[in-house]
Structure 1
């Protein structure tokens, strides 16, 4: 059979959810709603963090990074799928596929690192509050955020470049709604054991290890919470930690089940639905769980809305 480099393929065809014609429209509508909520929630969080000086703290700096990251991550995964559904097409160019794969991998890897470092930030703030301003100073925060982005982008670059060297044998149908790396590997007709080893090493570094750091951080946080004498304070703290850990388990759990499962297990159909969880659901939940429930953020939003409303009234009066 004729072999060709992945970049030499003329066009790729997405199979998407066409195997489920009755569900396809419902899935796309739900994805559109989640995408719009994600954009709205994250844009609000970034805006109030920039405009409100009271929110110029390490926690909200990291949350702004997470929000920007989630916007890019969701857009890279869902926008092409929704566009294809509306325009009734299911194709993508090789360069477009490579770009989509890179951005999805980069944003996903960066989020894995950033979430773990955000958990460390919470650990320092709760368990060592007196030294928190010294430990988490502005320079350290910028270095942590920049390190997360660099680490995620480098990991994605290694994987994407490796995948682009693969040869395919006439098969250009991707059994996914996006250029997901595991779906692309299914098109290869050469030995991919070396690439799978590279992916395994990266997956271990970016999934179970950050999740372990998060679990250790929250173990210390919960231990510290138990010393709180106020029952109301304990209940509120436990509620916040439980919400954070729920998002973490959803994000890391689905990614772990996809990228660390045995290569002999063929679960492409399940993978498509699981990809929706970490590409659409968790980016939507992040601003709600991590910030929009906070009193500080609610107060900032109300202040922003009141200011804008008064400004609009004054402008109309002056006219």
Structure 2
């Protein structure tokens, strides 16, 4: 069935809509910063689309029509639950996105280097954090224009605004992003994983399992940042990050194991802690790393509640 054909019954509609589920989910995730909120919003999008199926006139593709509905559903959710954008570099509602699900995205123009770079950089946590500091409508404009490549007139039609207003909102959004991202692009994107990155992740993992703060400290860049959503607080600078580890009693921990993984196209390490009563290592934390120039520039730590969604093992056995 062509994507321009109007689905006439529920099975046909569902089949057509499901083709676009993953990319719509990623779009909503960029807008909302939360994996679970994105899940709910995609469901809302499909419900709205089914109820309004007679309004699809074929003037645009079915995919574009769904994106319009999804964007408005995101704006409605933000108006209800998060009318104010994030502040101070913190995004308490931030959640990781599994790479295995990102692999489900349609190839599109993936063979083009620029398209590859945009797709990768705009799903990394640094970008997600920055975009959550924008007001909802400029955020939508930025994502539709700079990530999806929509023409300004199409964005204006979606938002019920003028092209001039959309262009103005885009400039404000880009300026806002510059305030929350390092100056140079290569300073905020981890880029493609290479042998050096893998070795640094291995050293970080070994030092963490050994709870050796001195070995960890030398892996951090001077301006490293660390956060633990949804826990409030953002540590900036090596001294502050190390001091936080010491204060939390990390150096005294024993019985850790680690499983390497990746989320948001970034290296990550899932840590497990030995529980004598369970006779197993149980989920503890997930550290997502941003690596630049051979040093760790950011650590975002998520709790054990994220492990199931990421399909990480629910436990590690003693002799495993």
TM-score in terms of structure 1 length:
0.27
Of Structure 1 and Structure 2, the greater helix share is in: 1
TM-score in terms of structure 2 length:
0.27
Structure with the bigger RCO (C-alpha within 8 Å, sep 6+) is 1
Of Structure 1 and Structure 2, the greater strand share is in: 2
